[in-house]
Amino acid sequence: MLEVRDLGKRFGGIKAVDGASLDVAQGEIVALIGPNGAGKTTLFAAITGFVPPDTGHVRFMGEPITGLPPHVICARGMVRTFQIVQPFGALSVRENIAVGAHLHRPRRRDALAKAEQVAARVGLDRRLDQPAATLTVAGRKRLELARALATDPKLLLLDEVMAGLNPTEISEIVPVVRGIRDSGVTVMLIEHVMQAVVSLSDRAYVLNNGRIIASGSTAQVASDPQVIEAYLGHGAAERVKSQLQASHAS
Partner 1 sequence: MSARVAGIILLALLFCVPFAVRSEFWLSFWLLVLMFAFLGQSWNVLGGYGGQFSFGHALFFGIGAYGTAVLQMRHGVNAYVAGAMAIGVGAAVGGIIGLLVFRYRLRGAYFALVTLAFAEVARVLVSSFQYTGSGFGMLIPLSRSVENFQFADRRVFYLIAWLLVVIGSLIAVWLENSRFGAQLMAVRENEDAAQALGINLVRTKVLALTLSGGMAATVGVFYVQNYLFVDSHIAFSPAMSIEALLVCIVGGLGTVFGPLFGAVVLHALGEAAKQATGNAPGLNLVLYGIVLIVALRFLPNGVAGLFARKPRRKQDTGNA
Question: Which residue stretch of 25-33, 52-60, 129-137, 182-190 sits at the interface with partner 1 (rule: CB under 8 A)?
Answer: 129-137
Select from 39, 53, 56, 100 the one that contacts partner 1 (CB under 8 A).
100
User: In terms of Cα–Cα distance, which of 41, 61, 49, 50 is closest to 189?
Assistant: 41
User: In terms of Cα–Cα distance, which of 109, 188, 121 is closest to 149?
Assistant: 121
Nearer to partner 1, 196 or 230 (CB): 196
- Write each residue from 55 to 84 as x if it is in contact with partner 1 (CB under 8 A), else as -, in one continuous string: --------------xxx--xx---xxxx--
User: In terms of Cα–Cα distance, which of 60, 149, 146 is closest to 104?
Assistant: 149
Nearer to partner 1, 74 or 214 (CB): 74
User: In terms of Cα–Cα distance, which of 2, 29, 4 is closest to 210?
Assistant: 4
- Note whether 189 binds partner 1 by CB under 8 A: no
Nearer to partner 1, 57 or 104 (CB): 104
- Note whether 41 binds partner 1 by CB under 8 A: no
Write out the E strands in the chain: 2-11, 14-24, 29-33, 55-60, 63-64, 78-80, 155-159, 186-190, 203-208, 211-217
- Note whether 116 binds partner 1 by CB under 8 A: no
**Cα 40 to Cα 101: distance, rounded to the nearest angstrom:** 27
Shortest Cβ 151–partner 1 spacing (Å) = 6
Question: Which residue stretch of 4-12, 13-21, 30-38, 126-134 sits at the interface with partner 1 (rule: CB under 8 A)?
Answer: 126-134
User: In terms of Cα–Cα distance, which of 165, 155, 213, 163 is closest to 30?
Assistant: 155
Nearer to partner 1, 60 or 82 (CB): 82
- Note whether 117 binds partner 1 by CB under 8 A: no
Residue 231 CB partners (closer than 8 Å, separation 6+): 35
Q: Using only C-alpha atoms, what is the Rg of the chain?
A: 19
- Note whether 167 binds partner 1 by CB under 8 A: no
Select from 9, 114, 127, 203 the one that contacts partner 1 (CB under 8 A).
127
**Cα 61 to Cα 25: distance, rounded to the nearest angstrom:** 10
Select from 148, 170, 197, 207 the one that contacts partner 1 (CB under 8 A).
148
In the complex, which residues of this chain contact partner 1 (CB under 8 A)?
A: 48, 50, 69-71, 74-75, 79-82, 86-91, 95, 98-100, 102-103, 105-108, 111, 123-124, 127, 130, 134-136, 138-140, 142, 147-148, 151, 168-169
